[in-house]
Structure 1
Amino acid sequence: MKTYKIAAIPGDGIGTEVISAGVEVLQALAKRDGSFGFKVDHFDWGGEYYKKHGRMMPENGRDMIGKHDAILFGSAGHPDIPDHITLWGLRLAICQPFDQYANVRPTRVLPGITSPLRHVNGGELDWVIVRENSEGEYAGVGGRAHQGSPLEVATDVAMFTRAGVERIMRFAFKLARSRPRKLLTVVTKSNAQRHAMVMWDEIAVAVAREFPDVTWDKMLVDAMTMRMVTRPQSIDTVVATNLHADILSDLAAALAGSLGIAPTANFNPERAFPSMFEPIHGSAFDIMGKGIANPVGTFWSAVMMLEHLGEPAAATRLMKAIERVTADPRLHTPDLGGKARTADVTAGVIEAIERENV
């Protein structure tokens, strides 16, 4: 039997609750399948670790998780610690050195969930947003000088490399090719950002020649927000920069019904390092400990993890179980307008997994 080593990093806030639920569901899935198992190692890194040690994770933290088959991550963000410390000290401290340059965020309206968009059903909103995850606006290049004085200056420099843009563009075209519609939208802001964004556009044109079977178009990021709301059926696969896709994918999740259901995969496509899977909802300290966090985003992230590990049948079984649960309004958590608790949704998914006909 194949045993997969999973590094579970709950992080902060509701991360502990949803990752615990995710591990419980994965173990139930492995038991149901019988051909594979999971060895889950838990790492208590995050804000509370920072309070004790002055850093979000150990100095050798990446060495501790670098040989795992995948990483299941909760959230980074603590009300007592500045956000840039929690983000750069944990999530980005894993993503960037592990070269997880392809951030993939699928979005669709799951059964039983109502989109805020009028007259939209699941067939009209079925997107995948590909986010460049290693450079761009989040490259970390910049600094501050003369802090506190009237002459203070601060810079954040967006860094784009031809190699970085080419590889994410090629990844996005390949992904678009694998989907039924073979349709890609390249998002940019090259009317105002006339250097890096113009290079982004030029590389898109060059890479597109390798994929004559993929239909593609280009949108400015501000116009793309309007298109997502007014013409969702015209969109399938999207590729954008680190910042633009970060914003667009949150909008996409809200349009699908809730941030609580949205998954993320941070891929190192070459598999030189483990990839990381996480819900996009953040730490949500306002509901921490109340037992009402929506675990669906974590479960859907686990689906992506199973696909990455080479377990497509198990991934399909879990996705069907998720859809069976979301179709039941009694199992909707408060973010979806219901009264269910995290444990209720988790138990419902496990029950669906265990049914013979799923």
Structure 2
Amino acid sequence: MNTHNIAVIAGDGIGKEVVPAAIACLERIAAIHSLGLNFTHLEWGSDHYKRHGRMMPADGLDQLAVHDAIFLGAVGDPEVPDTESLWGLLIPIRREFQQYVNLRPVKTLDGVASPLAAKNPIDLLIVRENNEGEYSEVGGRMYRGLPQESAVQETIFTRLGVSRVAHFAASLASARSGRLTSATKSNGIIHTMPFWDEVVEETVGGYPGVAVTHELVDALAAHLVLKPWTLDVVVASNLLGDILSDLGSAVTGSIGLAPSANLNPDGYYPSLFEPVHGSAPDIAGKGLANPVGQIWSGAMMLEHLGHSEAAAHLQAAFESALRDGHGTRDVGGTSSTSEFTAAVLAAIEALAADQPAVSGISAP
């Protein structure tokens, strides 16, 4: 039996509801596919901050390092500044473990209505650089409270940082359509963005079957709304990728659907898997949260750990539940979190029973 040790941080708000839902589905999938998933639950997040003044213990990264993957719910609390909740947990994990790729699928799902009038299916991947760019720590503020108060935030691109994310994106594109779109703003940002363009171009040159198009981010945002089905793989800097991926999930019907993988592709450190949505304190504890983003992130985790058949089984199950009308309120349905989870679990069993010889699925 393949066994993996998974660190679980449910975090804040609806994270405490969607993480248990996803783990229930992962445990059933693991049993069917003879996988060992050992979950270690870590009570870190904003409640930990309120008690200890830190989002995680001082040795938190050391505790995480011994795991094969990290499964995160959500981070954020109205009583804790975002600078503390984000920079005290998620950002250190991404950077210490060199999770330099943030991979976000954008896909039309049956049973979920898109706000777009066109019915063309959407299926694209957004590859966001995850360690540097606009989210660097370099900068500061001075003359606080005075008329000349100022703030400086530096954007930092390195050849290593740009080339490795471009390699990852080009590799994905070569296995799909061969079409890669690079988000840029080199007409207005005259130093860093032309550098980004040059390094992406040089890197993609090593992939003969891949053609790269450099598209200004404002035009690309419009492209994502008007004709998203014409895009396949998009590579973008930290900030631009952050914005574009949220827009992409919105045009497919709900940001609550979107999964996310923070990857260390080399496998030297654990990767982190989380939904794109936030902690949603306005609906926390009401049983209304959509667990699709968390469940889908679990499928991405299985794929990353080398279990593509189990990942496909889990994804087919939640897509089946949506197709059969079991969606939560944010996607036009009436199901509660627990009701949707039950529908996914039932679909897992049905798929295993109906296709015991397909994709390695064995009957329970």
**Does 2:344 match 1:345?**
no
Query: Partner of 2:274 in structure 1?
Result: 278
Query: Partner of 2:83 in structure 1?
Result: 84
How far is the alpha carbon of 1:341 from its aligned partner?
0.5
Query: Partner of 1:328 in structure 2?
Result: 324
**Does 2:19 match 1:19?**
yes
Counterpart secondary structure, 1:72:
strand
In 1: Cα distance, 2:4 partner to 2:79 partner: 35
Counterpart secondary structure, 1:277:
strand
How far is the alpha carbon of 1:260 from its aligned partner?
0.9
What's the CA shift string for 1:174-201, capped at 9, x where partnerless? Answer: 111111x121101111011110100011
Query: Partner of 1:157 in structure 2?
Result: 154
What's the CA shift string for 1:11-57, capped at 9, x where partnerless? Answer: 11111111111111111111222x21211000111111000000111
**Does 2:10 match 1:10?**
yes
The AA in structure 2 aligned to 1:166 is S
Query: Partner of 2:111 in structure 1?
Result: 112
Q: Is the 8 A contact 1:115 1:121 kept in 2?
A: no
How far is the alpha carbon of 1:78 from its aligned partner?
0.8
In 2: Cα distance, 1:345 partner to 1:63 partner: 36
The AA in structure 1 aligned to 2:240 is H
Q: Aligned ranges for residues 13-162 of structure 1 at < 5 Å? A: 13-33=13-33, 35-122=34-121, 125-162=122-159
How far is the alpha carbon of 1:139 from its aligned partner?
1.3
The AA in structure 1 aligned to 2:32 is R
Q: Is the 8 A contact 1:9 1:44 kept in 2?
A: yes
Q: Is the 8 A contact 1:32 1:353 kept in 2?
A: no
Q: Aligned ranges for residues 162-177 of structure 1 at < 5 Å? A: 162-177=159-174
Q: Is the 8 A contact 2:15 2:74 kept in 1?
A: yes
List structure 1 segments (4+ residues) > 4 angstroms apart after TM superposition.
none
What's the CA shift string for 1:151-196, capped at 9, x where partnerless? Answer: 21111111111111111111110111111x1211011110111101
Counterpart secondary structure, 2:138:
strand
How far is the alpha carbon of 1:215 from its aligned partner?
2.1
CA-based RMSD: 0.9
Identity, % of aligned pairs?
A: 48
In 2: Cα distance, 1:30 partner to 1:275 partner: 19
Q: Is the 8 A contact 2:115 2:251 kept in 1?
A: yes
How far is the alpha carbon of 1:233 from its aligned partner?
2.3
- Which residues of structure 2 form unaligned runs of 5+? 356-364
- Which residues of structure 1 form unaligned runs of 5+? none
Q: TM (normalized to structure 1)?
A: 0.97
What's the CA shift string for 1:46-74, capped at 9, x where partnerless? Answer: 11100000011111001111111111001
Q: Is the 8 A contact 2:106 2:123 kept in 1?
A: yes
Q: TM (normalized to structure 2)?
A: 0.95
What's the CA shift string for 1:187-225, capped at 9, x where partnerless? Answer: 111011110100011112211210110122110000001
In 1: Cα distance, 2:159 partner to 2:253 partner: 36
